Amino acid sequence: MNKTEIVRSYRNKYGMEMPNLKLARIIYNDNPLVFPTLDAVRTTLRNIQKGYNHPQGQRKVTHPHADRPLNPYKLPESYKKEPQLLKLPTGCDNILVISDLHIPYHDIESVSIAIEYGINADVNTIFINGDLIDFHGISRFEKDPRKRSVKQEFEATKSFIIALRDAFPTQEIYWLLGNHDMRYEKWLMTKVYEVFDDEYYHMEQRLQLNEQRVRLINDNVLVKAGKLAITHGHHVMKGFFAPVNSARGAWMKAKQSLLISHVHKVSNHVEVNLDGDSFGTWSTGCLSELKPDYNPLVSNYQHGFAHVLVDKAGDFQVKNYQIINGKIH
C-alpha cells in the first residue's frame, strides 16, 4: 500500500471521531519506515479527509474534547519525540541475526559460516543488528592513517551487501544502525551540515540499498520480532563497561525479553516472574576481528550469530550460537 492507502485504512478502522493528532501518532509509531515525520502523517490525514462527504457536504470531524484547548496554559512549543517501534511483519518468522562485522575488519570465515547456516536453515529474513561498517576514518577516537579510508570501507560494505543479496535472493533484509554505523551521519551533521538534507550523501544512496532491497532502520527504533525486542545495544550498554554476563545486564536495564549485539560476547539470561512467565535476554557474538588494535590482548570477544523463530502467537525461540575454531557451538 502507498502512504495514502495506509492512512485511509487507519481512518476507516478508528473512525472519524478519533482526533487527527492521536491517530497520526498511532500511524507513525506503526509505520516509522514509511513516514519521515509525524507532520507528514498529519498532512496525509488532512488530505484524505477532504474526500469524506456526508449529505450536508464535507463531513465534520468531531473531537470528544473539542471544547478543551490542546494547550490551555499557553506552554511553549514542545519538541518531545515519541518512541519509535518497528514490528517485523508476521512473515518474518525465521530470522538470521548477524551483527558487528565492522567491515572492512570482518572475519571472512565466521561471516561465511553464519551465511551458510542461514541458507541451510532456509531463513526468510536477514537482520543485521548494527555495526555493519566500522567508519574508523571518521571516528572521534585516535585514527591510524594506515587503516582503510572511508571510501574503501564504503566499497567493501557495498560488495558485502551485494554478496548477501546473492546468497539470499528473495529474503527480507533489514539493517538496524549501530553506533559505528551512526558515525557517518554524525560526521555529516557536524562537518558538512550544508548537504545533510541532500539524500545523495546518505548511506542509502552511497551503498545503493534500495537496489539491493535492504531496509535501513535508525538506531533509536526498537524492533520487535513477535514478543522479542531487538536493538543493537549501545543505548542499553552505555559507555565501554559491560557486566560479566551482558545478557543479564541487558535484563537489568530492559526488564523484558531482549536480544542485543554491540558487546561482541555470547551470553544468555532467563528470568521467571511470580506468574511463571519466562523472559529471556541474549547478547550475540561479533563477526569481526577478535583482537582489534584498540584492545589487542584481553578483549575476550567471541564470534557468533543468532537464529530466531517466531510463531503466530508472537512467542519466539532464540538459538544463540558461538563460533569456535570454525565450528558452531
In the structure, what pLDDT confidence band is assigned to residue 36 with cuts at 50, 70 and 90? confident
Residue that wins the pLDDT comparison between 145 and 122: 122
Please check the confidence at residue 60 and state whether its pLDDT lies above 60: no
- Where are the alpha helices (H) located in the chain, listed in sequence order? 3-14, 20-30, 38-49, 108-120, 150-167, 182-191, 203-206, 246-254
Q: What is the pLDDT of residues 190-214, one digit of tens each?
A: 999 898 888 888 999 999 999 999 9
Q: Has this prediction a pTM greater than 0.85?
A: no
- The vertex-219 CA angle with 6 and 303, nearest 5°, equals 125
Query: How many other C-beta atoms are found inside a 10 Å radius of the C-beta of residue 105?
Result: 19
Contacts for 157-161 with beta carbons within 8 Å, 24 or more apart? 157/103, 157/104, 157/132, 157/133, 157/207, 158/206, 158/207, 158/208, 160/101, 160/103, 160/106, 160/132, 161/207, 161/209, 161/212, 161/214
239-291 tens-digit pLDDT: 655 678 999 999 999 999 999 999 999 999 999 999 999 999 999 999 999 99
Q: Which of 97, 4, 93 is nearest to 51 (CA)?
A: 4
- Is the pLDDT assigned to residue 180 strictly greater than 90? yes
- pLDDT reported for residue 56: 45
Comparison of pLDDT for 241 and 94, the residue scoring more? 94
The model's confidence at residue 55, banded by pLDDT at 50, 70 and 90, is: very low
pLDDT number for residue 57: 42
pLDDT at 142: 67
Only one residue has cell 518531545, namely: 80
In this prediction, residue 223 carries a pLDDT of: 98
The residue among 303, 310, 282, 284 whose CA lies nearest residue 95 is 310
What is the per-residue pLDDT across 156-174, written as a single tens digit (0 to 9) for each?
A: 999 999 999 999 999 999 9
Residue 152 pLDDT > 60: yes
Joined together, the cell numbers standing for residue 141 give: 577516537
Over range 57-85, report the average pLDDT: 71
How many angstroms separate the CA atoms of 320 and 309, rounded? 12
pLDDT of residue 169: 98
